Amino acid sequence: MQVKNVELVMSAVDPKQYPTTGYPEIGLIGRSNVGKSSLTNVLINRKDYAYTSGQPGKTQTLNFYNVDDLLYFVDVPGYGYAKVSKSEREKWAEMIETYLTKRDKLKGVVSLIDGRHKPSEYDLQMRDWLDYYEIPVLYVATKVDKVSKSQRKNQENMLRTELQLEQDETLIMFSAKTKYGKDEVWKWIENQIK
pTM above threshold 0.85: yes
For range 83-112, the mean pLDDT: 87
Among residues of the chain, what percentage have pLDDT more than 70?
92
In a domain, 52, yes or no: yes
pLDDT at 79: 79
In a domain, 86, yes or no: yes
Split into its structural domains, the chain has a count of 1
pLDDT in tens, 139-184: 999 999 999 999 999 999 999 999 999 989 999 999 999 999 999 9
Residue closest to 106 by CA, chosen among 40, 23, 188: 23
Enclosing domain of residue 25: 6-192
Looking at residue 111, which CATH number applies to its domain? 3.40.50.300
